[in-house]
Amino acid sequence: MESENDEAQALRQLILATELRLKNLKEELAEVETRGPPHGRAEETPNELESLKDSKWPLTAEEYLRYGRQMIVPSIGIQGQLRLHAASVLIVGAGGLGCPAAAYIAGAGVKSLGIVDGDTVEVSNLHRQILHSSSTVGLWKVDSAIHNLKGLNPNVEYRAYREHLSPENAADIVSRYDIVLDCTDHPKSRYLISDICVLLQKPLVSASALRTDGQLMILNHPAAPPGSNAGGPCYRCIFPKPPPANQVVSCGDGGILGPVVGAMGVLQAVEAIKLITAGLKVSHTSDDAELQDPKVLPSPSLLLFSANSPSPFRTVRLRQRRPDCFACSSQAGLTPESLTSGSLDYVAFCGSAAPVNILSAEEQISAAQYSELRNDDSKKEHVLLDVREKVQFDICHVDGSINVPFSKLQRDLDTTYPWLPETSPADAPIYVICRLGNDSQVVTRKLKESGLGDNGKRSILDIKGGLMAWKKDVDSSWPEY
């Protein structure tokens, strides 16, 4: 009985808090509607910081309480807090890295926090993108994130950029901030962000994560101009060439464990707070850079995190700036004009993994046709080969299918075909299926070339569009994962 009362009491208080938040949102909306968004981009107004100028104390009473526990850390102190109070931070990407990074940076009390992301929240994001919630699915990620951050710390000035960072908008956006966090998940964004940070002399905290592994680097720190030996290396110094497009695996394809990417985002916030409180300069000129002694440059390093390793954290030392770097060396080909004019084509530079299209129409069958044939007694005798990785096959598969992972077939196509059922007739057709219909085409071609088709006696067909088409055209209950 008592616990029911407690629960009712807690719910009453939550309703009150939500009503208050709703009232604030309505007030914000009314204000935005009167003002109209400038340049089509929402700019959040600063609040509650304006009364500081005449005060005897540099922070408000509420701020002393709010930041007290971090201010008494010796490496932060009041000096560090005031530097945070003056700092502006840009987070590119409001996903698995950006959400925890933004939460801790907003919580630490920076002056302004900009977030760039052109995507909307999806249910499949929620296990790792902790600022979003089931109730914000379908909203812009930046709006969902900032809504949450305002609850966390209303003293920060938030700016929402509902777009992807591009060569056209990068200079305008990045120039407003002191430090940038790359929380994106694709090489083309990484090169663009690094290039604009070199050009505008902004330090960059870069991280990435996939499956159970992550990595973290501080780049362009100190943020000296291109050609200066006093600057830290840029992304191109470490990775002059992007990985082949077909080897780039995104979280969607490769999978990601929430707390792994979360840990990397938290570490980005740690590094950003360390840089700011150590006295990050607000603007860097060539003269500033000359003051830096190359002998006392911080030694750049790459932090590797591997959740399944017995010693999960490792550090690899990195070299200083590459003497022939395209972006930051004295021979740099990168200029503000080349970046904004579009002559640097980041998509072309990084390549794109285009959908595979290597089979003729006769070598493919639609999901619907395949489903019909499963129901036809005279055509039932066949082999359905599912080439997804085992972990995906275990989640769901079509009845009667045989699993031989694509990676295994690529590595070693055993031409005794040990996976073929012994009872299956030598001319039983083989249908190949995968998640989206790319890998299955490669396997279909490979099996035919290996002679399994026996000069046309046995047909080997690819199921076009894979299990995505199966869900769309045949079985709507198929679990999309």
Q: Of the two residues 170 and 327, which places its CB atom closer to Zn ion in the complex?
A: 327
Structure tokens at 389: 């990785």
Mode of pairing for the β-strands spanning 313-317 and 301-306: antiparallel
- 224 counts as binding Zn ion under rule CB under 5 A: no
Determine whether the annotation assigns residue 126 to a binding site.
yes
Determine whether the annotation assigns residue 265 to a binding site.
no
**270: helix, strand or coil:** helix
Determine whether the annotation assigns residue 96 to a binding site.
yes
Cβ-contact 433, 467 below 8 angstroms: yes
Q: Of the two residues 84 and 328, which places its CB atom closer to Zn ion in the complex?
A: 328
- 209 counts as binding Zn ion under rule CB under 5 A: no
Structure tokens at 322: 């590459």
**256: helix, strand or coil:** strand
Determine whether the annotation assigns residue 473 to a binding site.
no
Using alpha carbons, select from 355, 318, 323 the residue that is nearest to residue 436: 355
Determine whether the annotation assigns residue 39 to a binding site.
no
Block residue for tokens 């989640």: 395
Out of 188, 236, 448, 464, which residue is the one contacting Zn ion (CB under 5 A)? Answer: 236
d(C-alpha 375, C-alpha 384), whole Å: 14
Cβ-contact 218, 232 below 8 angstroms: yes
Cβ-contact 268, 231 below 8 angstroms: no
Q: Which is the catalytic residue, given 99, 183, 350, 434?
A: 434
- 223 counts as binding Zn ion under rule CB under 5 A: no
- 234 counts as binding Zn ion under rule CB under 5 A: yes
Determine whether the annotation assigns residue 237 to a binding site.
yes
Binding mask 268-297 for Zn ion (x = CB under 5 A): ------------------------------
Determine whether the annotation assigns residue 125 to a binding site.
yes
Q: How many angstroms separate the first and last alpha carbons of the chain?
A: 41
Using alpha carbons, select from 395, 477, 389, 466 the residue that is nearest to residue 431: 466
**Is 251 annotated in the active site?**
yes
Q: Which is the catalytic residue, given 197, 251, 350, 396?
A: 251
d(C-alpha 205, C-alpha 302), whole Å: 11
- 467 counts as binding Zn ion under rule CB under 5 A: no
Determine whether the annotation assigns residue 465 to a binding site.
no
Which listed range, 47-55, 108-116, 231-239, 333-341, lies at the site for Zn ion (CB under 5 A)?
231-239
d(C-alpha 405, C-alpha 99), whole Å: 34
Q: Of the two residues 235 and 406, which places its CB atom closer to Zn ion in the complex?
A: 235
User: What residues numbered 65-84 form the site for Zn ion, per CB under 5 A?
Assistant: none
Count the site residues for Zn ion by CB under 5 A. 6
Q: Of the two residues 154 and 333, which places its CB atom closer to Zn ion in the complex?
A: 333
Q: Measured from the CB of residue 455, what is the shortest distance to Zn ion in angstroms?
A: 56
Cβ-contact 385, 404 below 8 angstroms: yes
Using alpha carbons, select from 147, 134, 129, 145 the residue that is nearest to residue 29: 147
- 196 counts as binding Zn ion under rule CB under 5 A: no
Q: Of the two residues 238 and 266, which places its CB atom closer to Zn ion in the complex?
A: 238
- 237 counts as binding Zn ion under rule CB under 5 A: yes
Determine whether the annotation assigns residue 325 to a binding site.
yes
Q: Of the two residues 265 and 300, which places its CB atom closer to Zn ion in the complex?
A: 300
**365: helix, strand or coil:** strand
Determine whether the annotation assigns residue 186 to a binding site.
yes
Length of the chain: 481
Supply φ then ψ for residue 7, to 5 degrees: -65, -40
Q: Which residues pair with 79 in a beta bridge?
A: none
- 116 counts as binding Zn ion under rule CB under 5 A: no
Mode of pairing for the β-strands spanning 383-386 and 213-219: unpaired
Q: Of the two residues 129 and 201, which places its CB atom closer to Zn ion in the complex?
A: 201
Work out the angle at residue 72's Cα, subtended by the Cα atoms of residues 70 and 77, and round it to the nearest 5 degrees: 90
Binding mask 297-336 for Zn ion (x = CB under 5 A): ----------------------------x-xx--------
Q: Of the two residues 132 and 221, which places its CB atom closer to Zn ion in the complex?
A: 221
Q: Measured from the CB of residue 322, what is the shortest distance to Zn ion in angstroms?
A: 6
Q: Measured from the CB of residue 198, what is the shortest distance to Zn ion in angstroms?
A: 7
Mode of pairing for the β-strands spanning 213-219 and 301-306: antiparallel
- 193 counts as binding Zn ion under rule CB under 5 A: no
- 443 counts as binding Zn ion under rule CB under 5 A: no
d(C-alpha 271, C-alpha 227), whole Å: 25
Q: Measured from the CB of residue 194, what is the shortest distance to Zn ion in angstroms?
A: 8
Distances (CA, A) of 123 to 126, 211, 342: 6, 18, 34
Helix, strand, coil tally for the chain in percent (to 5): 40, 15, 45
Mark the binding-site residues for ATP, compressed into ranges.
Answer: 96, 117, 124-128, 141, 185-186
Mark the binding-site residues for Zn(2+), compressed into ranges.
Answer: 234, 237, 325, 328
Mark the binding-site residues, compressed into ranges.
Answer: 96, 117, 124-128, 141, 185-186, 234, 237, 325, 328
Task: By CB under 5 A, name the binding residues for Zn ion.
Answer: 234, 236-237, 325, 327-328
Active site residues: 251, 434
